[in-house]
């Protein structure tokens, strides 16, 4: 288990496919970084792929459950992990629907092809049960989030939960690119569909919560620990 230092370190609870899932190997190469070791990985020979994947590469291949947060001053890493294990103990593993590459507001992401209520429950429980460990966002962070032209509901979520996309505004997605121009999309969308096709029909289950850590503002997120669901 890799625990972060205090200060600017951030912690997030994500879904990430298991190490032996073929999706993990494909996503690691697509994004150009191993989220476990942090080592760079040669990417596909697509125009501009390094820059286009820079932001999702820093965060690691994942779907957000509890968004990145700094620990509140009166809380510890050990206390947080105890709470994460308690959340995992209350939730049972479940099947993940088939995934597909989607154009999501201009950026590419893998999304479920049919509704999955269990995913919403998983995210909701993580946000609610772990929120007591979250330090409030700074004024600068709130201002930055608001540059995305949030709806009234999203802005309310930002002020209450420190992130605009939770509960009713949350949606499951595994990000593959930054926002693309139409010209970039004509190249990258079919390329991503072809690249990930070998893994999309594989049956997979959500079996754990994946704890990612970021040691500082410019550092990449890495997997610190997986906590199995056993409710």
Residue 138: name the closest of 69, 220, 55 by CA. Answer: 69
Rounded distance between C-alpha atoms, residue 231 and residue 227, angstroms: 12
Question: Taking residues 57-66, what's their average pLDDT?
Answer: 97
Rounded distance between C-alpha atoms, residue 185 and residue 187, angstroms: 5
**93 is a domain residue:** yes
pLDDT of 149 reads 85
**3 is a domain residue:** no
**32 is a domain residue:** yes
Tens of pLDDT, residues 63-106? 999 999 999 999 999 999 999 999 999 999 999 999 999 999 99
**4 is a domain residue:** no
Rounded distance between C-alpha atoms, residue 229 and residue 121, angstroms: 13
Residue 65: name the closest of 115, 146, 121 by CA. Answer: 121
CATH code assigned at 25: 3.90.1140.10
**1 is a domain residue:** no
**40 is a domain residue:** yes
Rounded distance between C-alpha atoms, residue 63 and residue 107, angstroms: 14
Tens of pLDDT, residues 109-161? 999 999 999 999 999 999 999 999 999 988 888 888 888 889 999 999 999 99
Structurally, how many domains does the chain consist of?
Answer: 1
Q: Which residue has the higher pLDDT, 231 or 47?
A: 47
Angle between helices 182-200 and 22-31 (to 10 degrees): 150
Phi, psi angle pair for 150, to nearest 5°: -70, 150
**71 is a domain residue:** yes
Range of the domain at 123: 10-228
**120 is a domain residue:** yes
Question: Taking residues 20-49, what's their average pLDDT?
Answer: 96
């Amino acid at each position: 288990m890799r625990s972060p230092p205090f200060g600017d370190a951030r912690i997030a609870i994500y879904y990430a496919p298991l190490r032996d899932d073929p999706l993990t190997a494909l996503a690691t190469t697509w994004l150009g970084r191993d989220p476990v070791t942090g080592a760079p990985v040669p990417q596909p020979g697509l125009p501009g792929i390094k820059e286009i994947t820079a932001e999702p590469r820093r965060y690691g291949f994942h779907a957000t459950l509890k968004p990145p947060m700094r620990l509140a001053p009166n809380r510890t890493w050990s206390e947080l992990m105890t709470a994460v294990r308690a959340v995992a103990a209350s939730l049972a593993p479940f099947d993940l629907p088939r995934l597909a590459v989607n154009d999501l507001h201009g950026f590419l992401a893998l999304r479920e092809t049919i509704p999955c209520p269990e995913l919403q429950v998983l995210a909701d429980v993580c946000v609610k049960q772990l929120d007591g460990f979250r330090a409030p966002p700074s004024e600068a962070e709130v201002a930055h989030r608001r540059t995305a032209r949030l709806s009234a509901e999203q802005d309310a979520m930002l002020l209450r939960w420190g992130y605009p996309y939770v509960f009713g505004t949350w949606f499951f997605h595994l990000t593959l690119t930054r926002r693309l121009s139409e010209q970039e999309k004509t190249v990258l969308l079919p390329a991503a569909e072809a690249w990930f096709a070998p893994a999309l029909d594989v049956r997979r289950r959500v079996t754990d919560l994946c704890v990612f850590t970021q040691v500082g503002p410019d550092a990449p997120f890495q997997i610190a620990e997986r906590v199995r669901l056993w409710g």
